[in-house]
Structure 1
Amino acid sequence: MAGVIQTTVRRSTPALLLTRVRDRSPGLAAGLLGGALAAGLGLAAFAMLVILLWISSPYPDSGADGALHIAAALWLLAHGAELIRTDTLSGVPAPLGVPPLLLLALPVWLLHRVARDAADGGAAGGAPPAPGRTVWTGVVLGYLAVGTPAALYAAGGALRPAWTSTGVCVPLVAVAAAGAGVWTAYGRPSGPLERTLGRVLPRGARHLVLGPDGRPGVAARAAAAGTAVLAGGGALLLVASLGWHGGETRRAFLGLTEGWSGRLAVLLLGVTLVPNAAVWAAAYALGPGFLLGTGTLVTPFSSAPAPLLPPFPLLAAVPDAGEGTPLNWAAGAVPVLAGAVAGWCVGRGAAAGGEGGGPAGARPGRAPAAPWSRGRTAGAAALAAVLCAALLTVLATLAGGPLGVASLSRFGPVGWQVGAATLVWIGLVATVTALAVRDWRCRTSRGGRPGRAGQAGRIGGPREEHPYGGGPKEDGSTSSTGGTASTGFAGGRRIRALRYPARAVGARPARAPEQRAAASGTPDGRGARLRAAWRLARTAGARAAWAPKAPPAADKGPGGEGGDCGPYDFLPVDPPPGALDPAGDRQCP
């Protein structure tokens, strides 16, 4: 019996220790498991694709082991790591450092998803979310725990990883993507971003990048819009150039390999490199262009003769060698449009007081914000240009790299040159556009139709319907004649009726019977009564035509059904005391 108890205690000790560690660091186990799962799924996806192409290839050069080595190397290349190709004709190892940007989306999405789910795992049963730093650390460590053996395994193949770039790029992608996932799980709080921006930006510029409510600021939104237009414009230039060189593109695609499996591999490689080619085209439109080898620069002004390159379909879109033509210069419309879009975003936000809303610049429940000054508007446009230049610099750096040695040691755009050109283009165009949009929207809000309508609404106060169609109400305010009116109608007669209710039709002071008799020329004043009846009938017809329809119960006058003062039910104001009923000589109370 004692032996059984001792064995039970010994067996339960590791479980107790694991439970104690889990209680002290909640979320760590989920993070480790999620990071390892993300790395394993990414490697499995690349392995399935490579093995499928290897099986369908009529001329496989190596066995399944070689295909798996290539899959691990491609997984590292997707993170931005540089590879070394050893099986060259000259025997000199050649670097391969142009990462397909489309492949980067898979590991980033997997890391983001597992980090978000690991942080939300503690809140599934109503418990608070797991600590963000613990989950983030667990995901990164779990991802690197699988990625390190994969890199060591890839080192035994034909494409070997360069250890310096591998040790920098893979952890950097894991840290950034996992951090974004944890941040999303916590509802994207603005505190961490504010603390980070507070170390590098002053207070005024920090609010332009990150708004007070945690959303992207005016400058950040403008920079994102400008970058999207530049990338989209580069993609359009790529498609146009491929169509222009359609014959060369088709010959390169059909002549590079034979068989449907080889052409499928070329097609997949071209699709993964389309984002790279779009960034190259954007750099071409900005002016610095891109390199097709050392000393071979392609710009809208001139293109040097390219060295002997493989007949790849995307390379067929490279402009012809020689001096630039007006058709090449037309690519400059892309950065102009990007600067105009960024400037429009800044000008719209400046006119709205930074809210980014409508002309009033206020949200529900807030007072209208004052428009920015011209200096602050220009500063926001300049900051948007700086952010856009930083984004283009990163994209241009990632989109290029070496494809070999000697003349093939540099391919693609130069990052700092693209960033400088973006700063000039976006800075000039966005500043001019932002100032113009800001002045135009401010002028429209002051002197346009919406401004006059708002002024009329302020003069008349709330447009509520009076029980009798107009005149003073119980709270002392005055409503417009004829019930509820639209704020867009602000005629002179309506405003005068609002300011001087005593002058409204039907509100004239009553005269004594002697005065009416003297005016009509008859002792009994019957002529005055006839004229009064005609005037009341005409007024009632006009009011009934203009006034909104009321429910049947509201059609009854103050006297009710069968009252003594029926004709006065149509008057817009209370009948004057002592007025005679047109049907007889009785006076209304």
Structure 2
Amino acid sequence: MTSLLSARGEAATLDLRHRRPLLLIGLLGGVLAAATTLVACLGVGVVGWYLADDGVHGVPRDGLRAAGLVWLMAHGSGVHVGGVAISAVPLLLTLTCAWTCWRAGQRVGDSVSGHGPDADRIADGERDWTVPSATLLFTVGYCSVVLATARLAGSAETAPSGARALAWSLVLGLAIGGPAIAARSGRLAIWATFVPETARATLATAARILVTFLGVALASWLVALALDGASAANVLSQLHLDPADTGMYLLVSALLIPNATVFAGSYLLGPGFAVGAGTLVSPTAVVLGPLPLFPLLAALPDAGPPPAWTPYLMLAPVLVAAFAAGRAQRRRPTLRWDQAAVRGGVGGMIAALGFALLAVLSGGSVGPGRMRTVGPETIAVLGHALPAFALGGLVGALVATWWQRRRQRPAAPAGGTLPEAPTET
């Protein structure tokens, strides 16, 4: 009897949690999603202020303001330092904000799963505004925190762009929080049944190609940095930082690791990237000028004609796309050549568009003068990524289909012929 009462109590509590007002759930979820990363940045800012000369210079609110500005920069706001515009985005912090949006969106989705019509009524065509309403409220809550932070942390000297931060917040709320709400509420599974399997498999192939290529780019960049680690250590020694300042400096450098990964990917694709106006770092040419003292730049190759083997690195994107498409084909097998071609070729094109978008976000202005131009050229990156990923994806998907058809086809009987391979319906 006690266990029965306990089970009923838990069910009632669960149902009550799923019946909270939609307005409260959506707004509070968005506010918490933004506040989570903001509070973490503020904590790091206060610690950094205290570690800098034991907090002798300035007051704690200076550390809070600096942390708020960095958080806004992760939302594309940019900032002015000494009259110089800094527009580069610390992508690691941006990815952290996106992950927090996803997790908060999942909690909101779980809370609104009991709202609106059930699956049968949705399947019968009844309109369901639960997820769109929750997503809109979630986005409004997130944007309110961003605008409040821009108002409190910004000043006439720093001048962060509230409009750009608001635009990035809309993307995070609608494109990250919305799908998370739909997935956890159960609506996404219902809607996915109306999407053709080929479209879903194509998107899965594109995601696999993009993620695999970014992993290879990160590994290549880490290897280059490790091979010239002495230069990175020499840069740190020239800055004459104490242990506390060194730790904060390395933490700030870590925020740019995804940016460096995209730079490395642009290098492997061929067009390379710029580290200042009039410079180029690519497999076929390396033209450098005076560089700032920054440890991550130790991974750059030496200026001058590159070795004869470096142009062959441009084969890496094609091979990576072929491998990733073949792996995706194993997860979602098909025995039809046309479907395999669409999955691999179109999936590679979508992956190229995704990487070009990352190339846009990774660069920007990082200082005065020639350092206003840092990062890959988006059009050139897209022009190289489209054929490389599409060709590799097409070849990988077709090879995987050939192998799967070969394994599926039974042995021919004596004096007979092989039966036709089954096709998907």
Shorter-normalised TM-score: what interval? 0.7 to 0.9
CA contact (8 A) 2:75 2:168 kept: yes
Q: Which moved more, 1:145-154 or 1:112-121?
A: 112-121
From 101, 111, 128, the equivalent of 1:121 is 111
Q: CA deviation at 1:159?
A: 3.3
CA contact (8 A) 1:304 1:321 kept: yes
From 213, 225, 229, the equivalent of 1:246 is 229
From 44, 50, 63, the equivalent of 2:39 is 44
From 393, 412, 435, the equivalent of 2:375 is 412
Q: How many equivalent residue pairs?
A: 387
1:172 and 1:247, CA in 2 relative to 1: closer, same or farther beyond 3 A? same
Please give the per-residue CA displacement for 1:77-109, whole angstroms capped at 9, x wherever unaligned.
112222222x2xxxxx21112212111133223
Determine the structure 1 residue equivalent to 2:88: 98
SS of the residue corresponding to residue 42 of structure 1 reads helix
From 109, 113, 117, the equivalent of 2:99 is 109
**What pairs with 1:365-384 in structure 2 (closer than 5 Å)?**
371-373=335-337, 375-384=338-347
Look at both structures and tell me which one has the larger radius of gyration over its CA atoms.
1
**What pairs with 1:561-580 in structure 2 (closer than 5 Å)?**
none
Distance 2:292 2:378 in 1: 25
Determine the structure 2 residue equivalent to 1:326: 308
CA contact (8 A) 1:32 1:138 kept: yes
Question: 2:332 is matched by which residue type in structure 1?
Answer: G
Q: CA deviation at 1:118?
A: 2.8
> If the length of structure 1 is used for normalisation, what is the TM-score?
0.60
CA contact (8 A) 1:340 1:433 kept: yes
Question: 1:156 is matched by which residue type in structure 2?
Answer: S
SS of the residue corresponding to residue 419 of structure 1 reads helix
1:35 and 1:291, CA in 2 relative to 1: closer, same or farther beyond 3 A? same
Determine the structure 1 residue equivalent to 2:408: 445
1:152 is aligned to 2:115: no
Distance 2:389 2:76 in 1: 28
Determine the structure 1 residue equivalent to 2:29: 34
More helix by share: 2
Please give the per-residue CA displacement for 1:97-154, whole angstroms capped at 9, x wherever unaligned.
22121111332233333333233225589x9799222222222222222221210112
Determine the structure 1 residue equivalent to 2:16: none
Sequence identity percentage: 26
Q: CA deviation at 1:328?
A: 2.5
CA contact (8 A) 1:121 1:130 kept: no
Determine the structure 2 residue equivalent to 1:482: none
Distance 2:130 2:207 in 1: 31
Unpaired stretches in structure 1, ≥5 consecutive residues: 1-23, 88-92, 198-205, 211-216, 350-354, 362-370, 459-589
Distance 1:228 1:117 in 2: 26
Q: CA deviation at 1:274?
A: 1.2
Q: CA deviation at 1:188?
A: 5.4
**What pairs with 1:172-251 in structure 2 (closer than 5 Å)?**
172-187=171-186, 189=188, 207-210=197-200, 217=201, 219-251=202-234
CA contact (8 A) 1:339 1:426 kept: yes
Please give the per-residue CA displacement for 1:368-398, whole angstroms capped at 9, x wherever unaligned.
xxx213x443333220111111110111111
Q: CA RMSD in A?
A: 3.0
1:268 and 1:118, CA in 2 relative to 1: closer, same or farther beyond 3 A? same
1:356 is aligned to 2:332: yes
1:69 is aligned to 2:62: no
SS of the residue corresponding to residue 85 of structure 2 reads strand
CA contact (8 A) 1:26 1:130 kept: no
1:37 and 1:446, CA in 2 relative to 1: closer, same or farther beyond 3 A? closer
**What pairs with 1:535-546 in structure 2 (closer than 5 Å)?**
none
From 307, 312, 332, the equivalent of 2:294 is 312
Which one has more relative contact order, counting CA pairs under 8 Å at least 6 apart?
2
CA contact (8 A) 1:221 1:345 kept: no
1:303 is aligned to 2:289: no
Distance 2:151 2:185 in 1: 35
Q: CA deviation at 1:407?
A: 1.5
CA contact (8 A) 1:27 1:119 kept: no
**What pairs with 1:46-61 in structure 2 (closer than 5 Å)?**
46-58=41-53, 61=57
Question: 2:27 is matched by which residue type in structure 1?
Answer: L
Q: CA deviation at 1:158?
A: 5.2
CA contact (8 A) 1:227 1:338 kept: no
Q: CA deviation at 1:163?
A: 3.6
SS of the residue corresponding to residue 102 of structure 1 reads helix
SS of the residue corresponding to residue 93 of structure 2 reads coil
CA contact (8 A) 2:318 2:391 kept: no
Q: CA deviation at 1:333?
A: 4.5
SS of the residue corresponding to residue 84 of structure 1 reads strand
